[in-house]
Amino acid sequence: MASPRHILTAVAWPYASGPRHIGHVAGFGVPSDVFSRYQRMAGNNVLMVSGTDEHGTPILVAADKEGLTPKGLADRYNKVITEDLRGLGLTYDLFTRTSTRNHYSIAQEIFLGLHRNGYVVPKTMMGAVSPSTGRTLPDRYIEGTCPICNYDGARGDQCDNCGNQLDPSDLINPVSKINGETPRFVEEEHYFLDLPAFSEALGSWLQSKGGDWRPNVLKFSLNLVDDLRPRAITRDIDWGVPVPLEGWRDRNDKRLYVWFDAVIGYLSASVEWARRSGDPDAWKAWWHNPDAESYYFMGKDNVVFHSVIWPALLLGYGGKGNRGGAPGELGELNLPSEVVSSEYLTMEGKKFSSSRSVVIFVKDFLARYDADALRYYLATAGPETSDTNFTWDEFLRRNNDELVAGWGNLVNRSVSMAAKNFGEIPAQGELLDVDREVLAASKAAFAPVGELLNRAKQKAAITEAMTVVAAANKYLSDTAPWKLKGEDDRARQATILHTALQLVDDCKALLTPFLPHSSQTVHELLGNVGEWSGGPRIDQVSEDGNDDYSVLQGDYKTAAVWASRPIAAATKLATPTPIFTKLDPSIVEEELARLESP
């Protein structure tokens, strides 16, 4: 076996301005967990980190609306989101938040390192202010016509039509999305990240990724590098990480821009995880070791931050841009191995929208349906490489026809028949060709399915795993062990059922990254005790001088391994219970009615 790899799974940080819907978790949540669970089963050292992104003006706007302080609002949605992610069984080694002292100090250290190396420069810019409140208007709350392509729904931060980054003052006929007024532009002093100083380093780094990355992610990123402009990394706002420079540190109206501090979260969460694990230097195995790998999971609207901006920050902190320089106290840090971006999921043909109730929040989904049913849907029909559409019809069909009638039925009839006739895993007698062939095919599936999972080709991986389920169901139908009733047939019946249970055990392992909850149930049905595929827990933690907060973490060194393991005859079988819930077709109409009535 190859020696274990160090794999950082860096998962996009959900924004804590409200509850998250299934479109969000389709992009960042489930794919990153499938990947991490597989890598752990394959024996690798995985560090999966993220947290809630809690700064920026949208948090202030939402807090005003709910009558809370920004911190109060972030507390509320950090809690909701943490519970959602636990419900989905997402195995974060640490899911924390950006309002920790640890995060503040690391974000400031990265800023200072960039500043020391000359990549952060002061500049004045025209900032938009609301004439009625006097408050700074966030870029994305200003809409107008794109000066480059004339698209009339461009936002103050970028144009979704041509993909160019914009400043609000670039827009033609800018209007505030909050109240429709025309913003006033005033001169503001800010610090800018000198992105053009990284165009060569970024370009050659991205060029080296050809063949590994999803083609649309690479193409999009290379286009961005062709036209880099300095980008403001401070903001006129009183909520966020203070700017750690003389004359700025104590100002209450200047903070680091939210996107700047949020991408640094991958590093700060790794450092926090290491401290909590008892070895404060443990994070370095994933960030300094040149052989360590890192995979960043997100929806496509976040690609620019992970394939251009975060690598630029890492290069600049390490002194690797055009202006040179030397690494700061955190050392030279690894660039992403791959940016794994999903496309968009729509809902019944429409864009998800909380305000227009084209939405189902994770919490509501999990209150009515199994987490594995959603995980299965997203793995088989999610937006891995192209936009896809969630429909309740399709959800019902996949749940009932594929999970319940396919995989669930294989487990149920194999375990029930063996339990009824033998009460335990029966002994395996002489094997016939039909037995040998199906067992060999099942055992052989681990290599190709594992290779697909390693490349984050999850749709192909689950399709391949489900062909083993189909082959096992066909084996049972062909050999029809229920017809073998006489004493003479008992040994043959035992062999067939032993074979069927071995296939169930193999499929349980092959499906564990996708369906961890039901795989645990199957593990127990086969007479095993203890944890097969563990999940995360919510713990209350604290840091010096700060309030308690909750994090998601867990010990995932559970029994699951990526291999066919021989089952043991004479193991007592548990009482069979269905592993999936068959849904009544009426749920489709009920859910569609919910969509229509806000």
Return d(Cα 473, Cα 491) in angstroms, integer. Answer: 21
Instruction: Tell me the closest approach of the beta carbon of residue 162 to Zn ion, in angstroms.
Output: 3
Q: Are 26 and 383 in contact (CB under 8 A)?
A: yes
Closest CB to Zn ion among residues 144, 516: 144
Instruction: Tell me the closest approach of the beta carbon of residue 303 to Zn ion, in angstroms.
Output: 17
Instruction: Tell me the closest approach of the beta carbon of residue 142 to Zn ion, in angstroms.
Output: 14
Among 148, 175, 569, 574, binds Zn ion (CB under 5 A): 148
Q: Kind of pairing, strands 231-232 and 293-299? A: unpaired
Closest CB to Zn ion among residues 151, 192: 151
The position carrying tokens 């966020």 is: 240
Return d(Cα 561, Cα 372) in angstroms, integer. Answer: 19
Q: Which residues contact 97 (CB under 8 A, 6 or more apart)?
A: 16, 51, 52, 54, 74, 78, 103, 549
Phi, psi of 158 (to 5 degrees): -165, 160
Site size with Zn ion, rule: CB under 5 A? 7
Q: Is 161 in the site for Zn ion (CB under 5 A)?
A: yes
Instruction: Tell me the closest approach of the beta carbon of residue 169 to Zn ion, in angstroms.
Output: 15
User: How many other C-beta atoms can be found within 10 angstroms of the C-beta atom of residue 357?
Assistant: 13
Closest CB to Zn ion among residues 85, 171: 171
Closest CB to Zn ion among residues 59, 166: 166
Q: Is 592 in the site for Zn ion (CB under 5 A)?
A: no
DSSP 8-state symbol, 262: H
Instruction: Tell me the closest approach of the beta carbon of residue 346 to Zn ion, in angstroms.
Output: 22
Which pair of tokens denotes residue 503? 């296939």
Let me know the angle formed at the C-alpha of 385 by 384 and 386, rounded to the nearest 5 degrees. 105
Binding part of the chain for Zn ion, among 93-101, 159-167, 423-431, 501-509 by CB under 5 A, reads 159-167
Binding part of the chain for Zn ion, among 76-84, 157-165, 422-430, 490-498 by CB under 5 A, reads 157-165
Closest CB to Zn ion among residues 147, 230: 147
Instruction: Tell me the closest approach of the beta carbon of residue 539 to Zn ion, in angstroms.
Output: 46
Instruction: Tell me the closest approach of the beta carbon of residue 175 to Zn ion, in angstroms.
Output: 16
Binding part of the chain for Zn ion, among 162-170, 500-508, 544-552, 590-598 by CB under 5 A, reads 162-170
Among 146, 359, 381, 515, binds Zn ion (CB under 5 A): 146
The per-residue DSSP string of 230-289 comes to -EE-EEE-SSSPBP-STTTTT-TTEEE-HHHHHHTHHHHHHHHHHHHHT-TTTTHHHHT-
Q: Are 66 and 48 in contact (CB under 8 A)?
A: no
Binding part of the chain for Zn ion, among 140-148, 525-533, 558-566, 579-587 by CB under 5 A, reads 140-148
Closest CB to Zn ion among residues 152, 387: 152
Instruction: Tell me the closest approach of the beta carbon of residue 144 to Zn ion, in angstroms.
Output: 11
Q: Kind of pairing, strands 537-541 and 234-236? A: unpaired
Among 11, 159, 419, 509, binds Zn ion (CB under 5 A): 159
Closest CB to Zn ion among residues 172, 440: 172
Partners of 390 in beta bridges:
347
Residues in the chain: 598
Among 149, 427, 568, 592, binds Zn ion (CB under 5 A): 149
Binding part of the chain for Zn ion, among 18-26, 147-155, 324-332, 454-462 by CB under 5 A, reads 147-155
For residue 198, the one-letter residue type is F
Return d(Cα 279, Cα 271) in angstroms, integer. Answer: 10
Give the closest residue to 208 by CA, choosing from 54, 311, 97: 311
Instruction: Tell me the closest approach of the beta carbon of residue 304 to Zn ion, in angstroms.
Output: 15
Q: Which residues contact 269 (CB under 8 A, 6 or more apart)?
A: 49, 50, 51, 94, 95, 96, 103
DSSP 8-state symbol, 4: P
Return d(Cα 194, Cα 27) in angstroms, integer. Answer: 30
Closest CB to Zn ion among residues 72, 153: 153
Binding part of the chain for Zn ion, among 107-115, 158-166, 190-198, 492-500 by CB under 5 A, reads 158-166
Dihedral sign of CA atoms 266, 17, 95, 86 in order: negative
Phi, psi of 231 (to 5 degrees): -125, 130
Closest CB to Zn ion among residues 36, 164: 164
Closest CB to Zn ion among residues 162, 568: 162
Closest CB to Zn ion among residues 226, 547: 226
Beta strand segments in 422-526, E: none
Among 64, 116, 118, 151, binds Zn ion (CB under 5 A): 151
Closest CB to Zn ion among residues 111, 220: 220
Return d(Cα 474, Cα 413) in angstroms, integer. Answer: 12
Return d(Cα 556, Cα 91) in angstroms, integer. Answer: 7
Dihedral sign of CA atoms 222, 227, 233, 238 in order: negative
Instruction: Tell me the closest approach of the beta carbon of residue 157 to Zn ion, in angstroms.
Output: 12
Closest CB to Zn ion among residues 148, 335: 148
Instruction: Tell me the closest approach of the beta carbon of residue 170 to Zn ion, in angstroms.
Output: 10
Among 4, 162, 326, 434, binds Zn ion (CB under 5 A): 162
Binding part of the chain for Zn ion, among 153-161, 266-274, 283-291, 488-496 by CB under 5 A, reads 153-161
Binding part of the chain for Zn ion, among 29-37, 156-164, 302-310, 382-390 by CB under 5 A, reads 156-164
Query: Which 540-559 residues touch Zn ion, going by CB under 5 A?
Result: none
Task: Count CA atoms closer than 13 A to 162's CA, side-chain side.
Answer: 13
Closest CB to Zn ion among residues 112, 148: 148
Which pair of tokens denotes residue 430? 């002489």
Return d(Cα 594, Cα 598) in angstroms, integer. Answer: 7
Instruction: Tell me the closest approach of the beta carbon of residue 178 to Zn ion, in angstroms.
Output: 22
Let me know the angle formed at the C-alpha of 567 by 566 and 571, rounded to the nearest 5 degrees. 155
DSSP 8-state symbol, 405: I
Binding part of the chain for Zn ion, among 18-26, 75-83, 160-168, 428-436 by CB under 5 A, reads 160-168
Let me know the angle formed at the C-alpha of 268 by 266 and 271, rounded to the nearest 5 degrees. 110
Binding mask of the shown chain, residues 48 to 87, with x at each position contacting Zn ion by CB under 5 A: ----------------------------------------
Q: Is 568 in the site for Zn ion (CB under 5 A)?
A: no
Binding site for Zn ion (CB under 5 A): 146, 148-149, 151, 159, 161-162
